[in-house]
Structure 1
Amino acid sequence: MKLYLVTALLTALVTFGLSWVVWKLALRYKIHPPIRERDVHTTPTPRLGGIAMFLGVAVAFAFSSGNSGFALIWSDPGPMLAVLGATLLIVLVGVADDLWDLDWMIKLGAQLVAAGLIVWFGQLQISSLPIGGMTVGSSWMSFALTVIAIVLVMNAVNFIDGLDGLVAGVCLIANGIFFVYSYLLVRDIGASTYFNLASFIAIALVGACVGFLPFNWHPAKMFMGDAGALMLGLLMATSAVAITGQIQPAMLDPALFGRSQLLGAFIPILLPIAVVMLPLLDFGLAVVRRLRAGKSPFAPDRKHLHHRMLDMGHSDLGAVLIFYAWAAVIGMAVLLMYIATRENWYGQYWIGVAFGVVGIAACLVVTFMPGRRRRPVPAEEAP
């Protein structure tokens, strides 16, 4: 655990320092795009924070490669290099989009290539589901399913990047919860070491988010841009695939879960979905909304969940904190189900269910509580 914490601290410090450098250079050379109609901010702000976040994660990879504690995940360097190469590709495309606003087809193509690199060269794919021995039909079906899952999460995370500190904070919470889960799960399936790719990626992302968040907190000095958001989505999906897709059904001893065997079998799938539930919800609603309007699913608009919360009267900071609460409640509820069931706590997984019910009820009250004032809806969006 100490080595993981050192990795997070190192990544945070490097990301913070490089964020300051990138911010200063962007201001000096006026590298910031004009304000778009759908933007919430009113002052031109650099969008190159993703560069600093990527370099922070790259330093974490370099640190792990030279540390004997991480020897297991570097025993075959192929997956690590494939993940790093795919991340570099998506960051470069993201930076280009942040500067020149690329066509959505180009961005989607790059996402498919990056996901393909991870699956093909990194040999990370969803080969089985820990539900009653269910396996994915063929190697090509497994390849396609994994690529689609990675691209889906990438775009889902990118879609919620609309308020100061929103993506960085939500991903910080999600990866923190996923790190604890992956660390415990590897322990519970009897692995010889707690060091694994999923936990490493999650803790590196925690460090990157911590290091960047001071520059992105309201009012933001700098945005992570598509480069940062797509990178977070790519690596979050990769860490989920690295552990969930590789768990063999026999690894999960049904005796550990007592009467809740079915729940125990589903948790390895539920938690990775839970930690990205908000981005996935926003992404799904946006795709349906745009297709019904006869537009591209990637056509930008100002009807995302965070925009709607602003229109309800919430302040920028208030809306962000409510999103944090939702992310924490959903992720922690599923994590508590796993921990309580595994440790045979009194009440077992009902502890997590109760926490989720109470937490969701509280979040609903705060979300729909009338704000001090409703923001005017632009004329083109009025019913």
Structure 2
Amino acid sequence: MAPLWLLAMLSLAGGFGLALGWRAWARHRGVVDAPDERRLHATPTPRGGGIGIAIVLLAAAPWLGQGSAWFAAGLVLCAGAGLVDDLRPLSPLAKGLLQAAGAACLAVAYPLWPDLWGAAVGHVLAGVVVLVMVNFWNFMDGSNGLAASQALFAALGLAALAPTLAPAAWLAVALAASCLGFLPLNFPRARLFLGDVGSHALGFAIAALLLMVAGTSGGSPWLLVLPVSAMVLDASLTLLSRARRRQVLWRAHREHLYQRAVAHGWSHAGICALYAAWTLAATGLALWLARQPAPWAMAGSGMALGFGIIAYSLLGRAWPRPAATGRTPHGSPTG
């Protein structure tokens, strides 16, 4: 088995080189995102650059040991659904079915706490986790560097919470390094977008890390949500707000907190830094709470999430949603 540093270097080079090659191909073939009323960019930009991350993760699958074949199959289905949609529009139903098939593959290998409520429920809950992470990362991929940097920090944070290095560390290193390789093309100025293939791959890998670490996390499994809380809070609270106002949930919009911040004058770099600061602080808190008695860990993580909900509400008032948001009759279901 190769050392972690070699896996990191190969993943870094792969994430950058494959993205760079895809950018040239996408520009030649016209696979670009054009500016419109729901997007935050002003010039046509090639999409689908996250295919490099997906390929790196697929290449790293053999290092995951037991469950690696299911991981690879699920990744191909989820990232493949995104790739098809990047190349030509895919209906929400078809995309959802492919995501569900990919989620089922990963759930077979890594059921969520089957000892607690039985294998069948554990498989179902694991599938839900995968679908949530895939779609949340998709929704949150709309600002330069945000989705890739959050996946990088979350991967390292989740690996740090694992009581043993393998196999979560191998996946975390491959994910973090490939994201680092992609970021120079996406941040601070976006010359290439992840596309759905990239956001799906990131969400799928984060879900895999969550399920792997949850299986070995001992008495403090609730701490695992803290490294992903920035993405989860924004995506889930925005989704609940839209549901409360009876809007079509899969229709593209500009209501996420990061989108509203950019609309009110924040730079993409500022938004990326703000979310990174939250994730690093939340991960540091999780690592500290992991050394405390279980009741303190539960209370501390609950208070952190409660503070995040309050912060979302206060910032939402400072950055009110656009008056016409969510009523555009066209667009893909991404955030």
Sort the TM-score into its range (normalised by shorter chain).
0.7 to 0.9
Between structure 1 and structure 2, the one with the greater Rg is 1
State the distance in 2 between where 1:96 and 1:205 align. 22
State the distance in 2 between where 1:210 and 1:291 align. 35
Task: Give 1:156's match in structure 2, choosing from 136, 147, 152.
Answer: 136
- What stretches of structure 1 of length at least 5 have no aligned partner? 65-72, 129-133, 187-193, 253-264, 343-348
Asked if residue 222 in structure 1 is aligned to residue 203 in structure 2, the reply is no
What is residue 183 of structure 2 aligned with on the other side? Answer: 213
What is residue 141 of structure 1 aligned with on the other side? Answer: 121
Aligned length: 318
State the distance in 2 between where 1:288 and 1:119 align. 26
Q: Which amino acid aligns with 2:15?
A: T
What is residue 212 of structure 2 aligned with on the other side? Answer: 242
Q: Which amino acid aligns with 1:292?
A: R
Deviations 1:140-177 (A, max 9, x none): 21221111111111111211111000011111111111
Task: Give 2:73's match in structure 1, choosing from 60, 75, 85.
Answer: 85
Asked if residue 380 in structure 1 is aligned to residue 332 in structure 2, the reply is no
Q: Quick one: structure 1 residues 378 and 126, their matched pair in 2 at CA, closer, same or farther if it must change by over 3 Å?
A: closer
Aligned-pair CA distance for 1:379: 4.8
State the distance in 2 between where 1:214 and 1:270 align. 33
Pairing of 1:359-374 with structure 2 (within 5 A)? none
State the distance in 2 between where 1:42 and 1:101 align. 21
What is residue 8 of structure 1 aligned with on the other side? Answer: 8
**CA-atom RMSD, angstroms?**
3.1
> Once superposed, which parts of structure 1, at least 4 consecutive aligned residues long, lie more than 4 Å away?
376-379
State the distance in 2 between where 1:156 and 1:16 align. 24
Asked if residue 124 in structure 1 is aligned to residue 110 in structure 2, the reply is yes
What is residue 46 of structure 1 aligned with on the other side? Answer: 46
State the distance in 2 between where 1:101 and 1:38 align. 17
Task: Give 2:222's match in structure 1, choosing from 228, 245, 270.
Answer: 270
Aligned-pair CA distance for 1:209: 0.6
Is the contact made by 1:50 and 1:224 (CA closer than 8 Å) also made in structure 2? yes
Asked if residue 303 in structure 1 is aligned to residue 284 in structure 2, the reply is no
- What stretches of structure 2 of length at least 5 have no aligned partner? 327-335
Q: Quick one: structure 1 residues 34 and 5, their matched pair in 2 at CA, closer, same or farther if it must change by over 3 Å?
A: same
Identity %: 25
Aligned-pair CA distance for 1:236: 1.0
Is the contact made by 1:8 and 1:204 (CA closer than 8 Å) also made in structure 2? yes
Aligned-pair CA distance for 1:309: 1.5
State the distance in 1 between where 2:216 and 2:102 align. 20
Aligned-pair CA distance for 1:272: 2.0
Aligned-pair CA distance for 1:246: 5.0
Is the contact made by 1:286 and 1:297 (CA closer than 8 Å) also made in structure 2? no
Task: Give 2:87's match in structure 1, choosing from 85, 99, 105.
Answer: 99
State the distance in 1 between where 2:237 and 2:93 align. 20
Is the contact made by 2:113 and 2:214 (CA closer than 8 Å) also made in structure 1? no
Deviations 1:175-209 (A, max 9, x none): 11112222xx12xxxxxxx4x22222111111111
Aligned-pair CA distance for 1:296: 3.0
State the distance in 1 between where 2:215 and 2:160 align. 18
What is residue 332 of structure 2 aligned with on the other side? Answer: none
Farther-moved stretch of structure 1 (311-320 vs 164-173): 311-320
Aligned-pair CA distance for 1:99: 2.8
What is residue 181 of structure 1 aligned with on the other side? Answer: 161
Asked if residue 281 in structure 1 is aligned to residue 225 in structure 2, the reply is no
Aligned-pair CA distance for 1:6: 2.1
What is residue 346 of structure 1 aligned with on the other side? Answer: none
Is the contact made by 1:126 and 1:245 (CA closer than 8 Å) also made in structure 2? yes
Q: Which amino acid aligns with 1:146?
A: A
Q: TM-score, normalised by structure 1?
A: 0.75
